[in-house]
Amino acid sequence: MGDDCDDVDPNRHPGMTEVCDSDDEDCDTTTFGNRDQDGDGFVDSACCNDTDCGNDCDDMNISIHPIQNEI
């Protein structure tokens, strides 16, 4: 038994780059893509893979991220 998670889809296999969508391109449920649209270093919370997600709740605002002080 191999480690390919979808034998039918050639775009889903170990070694593929995981992107922010609803598919598991790299066959690793702990990765979720790396979309960071505001460039603050935190991944968009809309990027999920299984139950793991990014942690930036507003990825369009560089001032809002998980370690920002609450005002």
Phi first, then psi, for residue 55 (nearest 5°) are -125, 15
Our separate counts of H helices and E strands in the chain read 0, 2
Q: Cβ distance 33 to 47 under 8 Å?
A: yes
pTM: 0.76
Tell me the pLDDT tens digit for each residue of 18-62: 999 888 999 998 898 889 999 999 999 999 988 889 999 999 999
Closest by Cα among 36, 33, 26 to 3: 26
What are the domain boundaries of the chain?
A: 1-71
In this prediction, residue 25 carries a pLDDT of: 92
How confident is the model over 10-15, as a mean pLDDT? Answer: 92
| Model pLDDT, residue 1 | 54
